[in-house]
Amino acid sequence: MTSGSGARQTGLIRQRTRSAWMFVAPMLVVLAIVALYPLAETIWYGFTDASLNSIDSARFVGLQNYLEWLDYGDGDGEWLGLLADERWWQAVWNTLRFAFISVSLETLFGMIIALVLNKQFAGRSFVRAAVLVPWAIPTVVSAKLWVWMLHDQFGIINDLMLTLGLISKPIAWTASPDTAMTAILIVDIWKTTPFMALLILAGLQMIPRDIYEAARLDQIGPIKLFRKVTLPLVMPAVLVAIVFRALDALRVFDVVYIMTPNSDETRSMSVFARENLFDYDNFAYGSAASTLLFLIIALITISFIYGTKMDLSGDKS
């Protein structure tokens, strides 16, 4: 390659880069307005004493919302602030547990459903549309629906299990601290598995058919075929799907808020933030919680992307 052609190409690339930026610019502006600005404002409010009643007269108070030593004046005192708030840490733990269990099971079930839907059979397109129904129902509606189905006196779930002899007396699913989280997980998994299945199915269909032809000629068994061929090839799609779901699961709000709004066992980080922002008039404290929520999600997502060496830039392909 001569230096002349290199210079021409650089000029072309520069021109392309310029037009690419021009096309991207409107989106960046919109993002800055609807995402960056509110985010910056939230972070700012986390360092103030803002309340909804007097949001304009908010004063800067430093890290007080995060951690502060309250001196009683008699040599004694205690730590206050989010980092010392047992309810906040309970909410963090609830959220992480919820996200881990729900995303794991949704990936597993989603994979199974996707493998089935990837096969040719009569009525496949109908089944594909049908499995999407739980995901299409607004969460508020489906959560309310499940609250009634899980009701200890009128609920159909208890009735079924009693009839089948699985339990001897009705379970108060959403009321009992032992089962509240399980109930929420059931609803979330029921609702979001179709989404995972769809994303994984898209990945499966990207795999070239002739690979399977070759495998068939080599007489490779189905389990080995799945482990050695399908899984590695579909993995990038699965990882992207997991990141999407994990982002959602870590922000979980509606299903918890509808089913068990004020339970210590199920309160998620988002529910905690909302409670302080609007119910308790602790706008600053809620903003600080939202900021931490943002940091925690960012941290988990970034370490997941690095840990799995996920390719988000698209350079490799």
User: With respect to another protein, which residue has the nearer C-beta, 82 or 103?
Assistant: 82
Q: Can you read off the two tokens belonging to residue 33?
A: 């307005």
How deeply is 275 buried, as exposed, middle or buried, from its count of CB atoms within 10 A (0-12, 13-18, 19+)? buried
Phi and psi dihedrals of 314, rounded to 5?
Answer: 80, 5
Q: If residue 77 lies in a helix (H) or strand (E), which one and from where to where?
A: strand 77-80
In the block, residue with structure tokens 């799995």? 308
Report, in Å, the least distance between residue 190 CB and another protein.
19
Compute the least distance from the CB of residue 127 to another protein, in Å: 35
Our CB check for another protein shows the closer of 186 and 204 to be 186
Which pair of structure tokens corresponds to residue 185?
Answer: 């997980």
Output the smallest distance, CB 245 to another protein, in A: 27
Name which of 38 and 232 has its Cβ closer to another protein: 38
Q: Quick one: 17 or 262, whose CB is closer to another protein?
A: 262
Q: How many Cα atoms within 13 Å fall on the side-chain side of residue 165?
A: 0
8 A C-beta contact, residue 293 and residue 208: no
Torsion sign over Cα 260, 264, 266, 272: positive
**Closest to another protein by CB, 110 or 155:** 155
Q: Which residue has the tokens 């199920």?
A: 266
Q: CA 279 to CA 275: how far, in whole Å?
A: 5
Shortest gap between Cβ of 3 and another protein (angstroms)? 54
- Residues of this chain that bind another protein (CB under 8 A): 51-55, 80, 151-154, 170, 172, 174-177, 260-264, 275, 278-282
Spatial contact of 216 and 85, defined as CB atoms under 8 Å apart: no
The encoded tokens of residue 61 equal 């108070």
Q: Measured between alpha carbons, how far is 267 from 153 in angstroms, rounded to an integer?
A: 24
13/52 with CB nearer another protein: 52
Nearest distance in Å: CB 150, another protein = 9
Given the complex with another protein, which of 242 and 273 has the nearer CB atom?
Answer: 273
Contacts 24+ apart (CB under 8 A), 81-87: 82/285, 82/288, 82/289, 82/292, 87/264, 87/267, 87/272
Question: C-beta of 10: minimal distance to another protein in Å?
Answer: 44
Helix (H, G, I), strand (E, B) or coil at 316: coil
> Taking the complex as a whole, how short is the minimal distance between the CB of residue 279 and another protein, in angstroms?
5
Whole-number minimum distance, CB 86 to another protein, in Å?
11
Vertex 52, ends 48 and 53: CA angle to 5°?
110
As measured in angstroms, the least distance from the Cβ of 99 to another protein is 23
Q: Which is nearer to another protein, 151 or 245 (CB)?
A: 151
**Of the candidates 249, 274, 283, 240, the residue with the CA atom closest to the CA atom of residue 65:** 283
